[in-house]
Chain A
Amino acid sequence: MQSLLMWHVLTHFCYIFNHKPCFSYKKLQRRRESSAHTMSNSDQTGNESEMYVMHEICSSVKNMKQLDFSVLVRRANQIKEELKQGVKKPYRELIDVSWGDPHRTGVKPLSFVRQVLAGCLYPQLLESNRLKVDVRQRAQRLLETCAGGSVGSYSDTAGLTQTLKKVSEFITRRDGGVPSHPDSIYISPGSQWSLTNILNILVNPEASPKTGVLVPAPSHCVTTQSILGLGAEVLPYYLTEEQGWALQVEELQRAFDSAKGVCKPFALYIINPGNPAGGVQSRKSMQEVIKFVSEKKLFLLADEVYQECVYGENVEFLSYKRVLAEMGPPLSETVELASFHSASKGLIGECGLRTGYVELVNLDPSVLKLLDNLFSTNSCAPVLGQLTLDLMINPPQPGDPSYPLFYEETQRIRTTLIQNVRQVFEVVNSLPGFSCQPVEGGVFAFPRVYIPPKAIQKAKEVGMEPDTFYCVRLLEETGVLARPGSEFGQKDGTHHIRFCIMTPQHIMEELLRRLSIFHTKFMKEFS
């Protein structure tokens, strides 16, 4: 019975994998046939695809990896539909923990934030006492910073003047007084958008040798895609899993040297706290990195979007800007740094509103001016998102009418997260064939899974990475959508899965229950 189910699953996925292009191709042929009477003979004999104007496309875009994950998502959507139609499954609901997306997993948005946004969207709400007085005041003040008093107007390219000022004040507070200036900050539709703009200015697509960017392995795969899409080379440096995914300078050096004859390293990308690996860097490690980039003349890209999510005891988030400033001259005056933050992460978790920012440090002013032109072609970040960022960095204070509820909600999320971190660590590590490093920060668990050789063999037969195979089975049998480690980069011969741990507690308990049962069965099946 069990193996029958498995066969069903495999043939199903096999179909998706192997037949997808054919399916499109058939459609294409049909379309071409329908218009064949208008074609000349030469057209009919030539390669059909070449007839398209848009057949030949940008080679860098082609170089971007086609992720297996999209197939998993498609299947998850089908399952969701099947469940809705009452198809019997061993589970009643899908648990989608494939993104760092707390609302998707059931974490509730913060009431204060959403109340203020509702007031900004529909200012008639501010005329009644439907919303608390501090909510109304805040909405009123925010609307006054928007052109024409509407969130429907454009802001300046870099963002709303007031919000930029508040972001710089937030950074100064966070960094123990290290000054920050609003004119060094750009708000964008998500931090990833800022990162792409900075990469765009860094990467000369025609350079020979190509521009190289050092990127952690494992790493946030969207960034890797952006780098490839811009025509640069990715130079992976491996984090040391056994030491809590620590970053080691010797490994940076090795990655740097590996560029010889391939490309010219120009920038170093760091994710701290990590994604998908949940390590948090120590000051000492950051100092080493800073010295390294200074010595090698690299531009430092610090992805710090998970700065609010730090759990380990004696673990503290320090920004690269702060550590750099506190190292003093000459480093603090020379090392060029772009630091990224976002309203998508942290307790606010407003991914869908698409807002993040970049702060630039020690940039050549003439380059900064050109960067301004680049950002200006995007017009501006979504204004509602900019206001959300404003609310994120200026939450209600004790004494405000909204404070008690805000405190309760944020505490609940925080406590749940800490509990989830502990529970994941305990449960996953108790499963034979699994090992999970302590999650010090970020919102993901990235445990290593020891996939039995027989399962690896099976995966090969169906043309999948072993951990994709694992995730496919996990999805099909338990309705849990996680992501395979192969997407993020991992040491050869190792396999991982990534799942979001920012979920309500009952969801995490259910997830771990399903994972435990599935894993035990999976290991037995392929032993």
Chain B
Amino acid sequence: LAGATGGVAVRPVCGIQRDNGTKMSQDQQAVNGVSCVSKVLTLDTMNPNVRRVEYAVRGPIVQRAVQIERELREGVKKPFTEVIKANIGDAHAMGQKPITFFRQVLALCSYPDLLEDNKFPEDAKKRARRILDACGGHSIGAYSASQGIECIRQDVARYIERRDGGIPSSPDNIYLSTGASDAIVTILKLLVCGEGRDRTGVMISIPQYPLYSAALADLAAVQISYYLDEENCWSLNVEELRRALKEAKQYCKPRVLCIINPGNPTGQVQSRQCIEDVIRFAKEEHLFLMADEVYQDNVYADGCKFHSFKKVLFEMGPEFSSTVEMASFHSTSKCYMGECGFRGGYMEVINMDPQVKAQLTKLVSVRLCPPVPGQALLELVVNPPQPDEPSYSTFMKERTAVLAALGEKARLTEETFNSVPGITCNPVQGAMYTFPCISLPQKAIDKAKEEGLIPDMFYCMKLLEEEGICLVPGSGFGQKEGTFHFRMTILPPTEKLKVVLQKIRDFHLRFTQEFS
């Protein structure tokens, strides 16, 4: 499909004397079955696990979107003038402005001569000096320790302590990472072992964030799916965890339970009671808990509050806090700062076997170190301007504005979608996405099958071609059989979001009519 409308010429496959071919034409060649003479690395000889790796948020629909953008630049006529990529939680791409203080400090770290400049506030300079002092040769261009710069890990630990009402956190348990995904993959890599029925099983929610399914495929781990309850605002039900676990025990060794809270793509925020239930379950069943908490500052709905797994764990008393093993993940890409491009993040490991921790430290060393500017940014996120500092008021104003706008957009999105016949949408309590259920006419489902596409992929592809809006089909995240969804980020600026919602509404009505 990717090459179907692109008109990309088929180029010779082999040989560096010729053009190497574009990614699209290579797809087409594969489709056409042209093969090279006796390659060393082929579909048959390669690591078979990688063949199962898929990552929907950057999948075929996004590749098509990139191609359409290229066509638009080349002057190809379309019913729209720009592609709106609502497929990914990328705040700055949607026009969100960076937090001034963060960028001032980073600019100072990049070019320390600016420290002499009186245009920068003193607190920004102070932070920059502190970061530079902790860098090898006072440069963000030097490698750091693989686990991350020590003083930043200390500040992360202090931040966690503040967040969790004083529950202690040790810098030794903090590992800085290249975005949260790097840390998630690292922990999974460490945990997955065993053969046959002893192979590690990992419980993930359905719908899930596709990084998990991709990593599990790559590691040849067994995916254990537990379904979130769409009728109850995508809540997590411990009975469902039990069901999934019981079934899985027949063919693998369940060892890990992954939770995303606030939810991606589903936007729910877990209640304290539910977290307690999950922790009890993990302890009973002897599971390692992975708490993906990258959206911890993105909570909008009235009555919802973010509770960290660690805080709840420790408040449940020593019976739990000294035994349940877990890792919690955070990132600089989301929340109010949305600095995805820096690839900053961290994890905190709790109750980990010290011998395994030594192995973890060894494993992260092959990455050399996380990007130092991302580490510096994380330092600022966990240690923002204080009320007595000159940058405080601007910082708070910017932060509050972003979060307030997100709250408003969350409500707007829910309301608009629920007003469209054939779309039902749960409230976006947190995170950055809506995951509405769409009802598709049987004729559309048949048509999709004819074209060899999953129905919601067919729907999203058509939306992209006709309206220039790029969403991710629900099938990329997993969904109950027979239901269809898409994921859309709520990040576009309010006025633009209104246009996007209107366009999706019009498209949906047109689509329903066309196939009824």
Contact = CB atoms under 8 A, between A and B. Distances in A.
Top 3 closest pairs, chain A to chain B, by CB: A352-B372, A383-B341, A147-B93
A332 B14 CA distance: 9
Interface in B12-39: 13-23, 26-27, 29-30, 35-39
A109 B55 contact: no
Given A25-B354, A61-B189, A103-B142, A365 B21 contact: yes
A366 interface: yes
Contacts of B339: 152
Contacts of B357: 24
A372 B358 CA distance: 32
A114 B111 contact: yes
Given A35-B322, A299-B40, A56 B340 contact: no
A71 interface: no
Interface in A31-65: 31, 34-35, 38, 49, 52-59, 61-62, 64
A212 to B, nearest CB: 13
Interface string B87-102: 0101111111010000
Contacts of B218: 200, 374, 377
A202 B41 CA distance: 7
Contacts of A434: none
B50 A201 contact: yes
12 contacts: A24-B355, A52-B351, A54-B288, A57-B190, A67-B365, A103-B136, A111-B113, A118-B111, A266-B45, A333-B17, A373-B55, A379-B181
A20 B57 CA distance: 44
Given A24-B358, A200-B218, A351-B368, 15 more contacts: A34-B322, A53-B255, A104-B137, A114-B110, A118-B107, A118-B114, A130-B114, A150-B93, A152-B340, A364-B43, A365-B13, A368-B26, A370-B51, A377-B53, A378-B181
Interface stretch (A175-183, A444-452, A468-476): A175-183
Interface string A453-493: 00000000000000000000000000000000000000000
Given A53-B286, A154-B88, A376-B58, A146 B39 contact: no
B143 A332 contact: no
B66 interface: yes
A367 B215 contact: no
Contacts of B181: 377-379
A205 to B, nearest CB: 7
B58 A54 contact: no
A318 interface: no
A229 B219 CA distance: 12
B325 A352 contact: no
B341 A150 contact: yes
Contacts of A70: 361, 365
Nearest to B12: A333
B373 A384 contact: yes
A332 B20 CA distance: 12
A153 to B, nearest CB: 4
Interface in B133-155: 135-137, 139-145
Given A150-B98, A190-B368, A365-B13, A377 B325 contact: no
Contact of B340 (A189, A328, A379): A379
A24 B354 contact: yes
Interface string B338-352: 111111000000011
Contacts of A382: 178, 341-343, 371, 373-374
Contacts of A64: 362-363, 366
A227 to B, nearest CB: 10
B54 interface: yes
Contact of B47 (A122, A201, A325): A201
A486 B193 CA distance: 30
Interface string B177-188: 011011001000
B46 A201 contact: yes
Interface string A131-169: 000000000000000111011111111000000000000
A303 interface: no
Contact of B27 (A35, A106, A369, A373): A369
B353 A54 contact: yes
A152 B23 contact: no
B96 A148 contact: yes
Contacts of B136: 96, 101, 103-104, 352
A361 B39 CA distance: 12
A21 B354 CA distance: 9
A500 to B, nearest CB: 11
B189 A122 contact: no
Contacts of B14: 333-334, 362
Interface string B481-497: 00000000000000000
B92 A148 contact: yes
B141 A350 contact: yes
B370 interface: yes
Contacts of A9: none
A73 B361 CA distance: 13
B35 to A, nearest CB: 7
Given A38-B318, A362-B16, A101 B143 contact: yes
A56 B92 contact: no
B44 to A, nearest CB: 10
Nearest to B353: A52
A328 B15 CA distance: 9
Interface in A305-354: 321, 324-325, 328-329, 332-334, 336, 349-354
A6 interface: no
A225 interface: yes
A122 B353 contact: no
B50 A369 contact: no
Nearest to A56: B193
Given A27-B354, A352-B371, A361-B16, A373 B362 contact: no
B220 A206 contact: yes
Contacts of A119: 107
Given A61-B362, A329-B17, A376-B58, A189 B343 contact: yes
B214 A377 contact: yes
B139 A154 contact: no
B294 interface: no
B22 A183 contact: yes
Given A101-B136, A200-B47, A321-B16, A352 B144 contact: yes
B510 interface: no
Given A150-B92, A332-B17, A189 B106 contact: no
A222 B98 contact: no
A192 interface: yes
Contact of A365 (B30, B88, B351, B353): B30
Interface string A370-409: 1111101111111111000000000000000000000000
Given A52-B353, A329-B15, A365-B26, A378 B362 contact: no
A297 B15 CA distance: 16
Given A152-B338, A374-B218, A183 B16 contact: no
A83 interface: no
A226 interface: yes
Contact of A121 (B17, B51, B103, B137): B103
Given A121-B106, A153-B340, A154-B341, A349 B355 contact: no
B367 interface: yes
Contacts of A67: 362, 365
A157 B48 CA distance: 22
B156 interface: no
Contacts of B252: none
A374 B55 CA distance: 8
Contact of B142 (A104, A146, A336): A104
B354 to A, nearest CB: 4
A117 interface: yes
Contact of B94 (A148, A155, A352, A374): A148
A226 B179 CA distance: 20
A413 interface: no
B367 A192 contact: yes
Interface in A95-113: 96, 99, 101, 103-109, 111
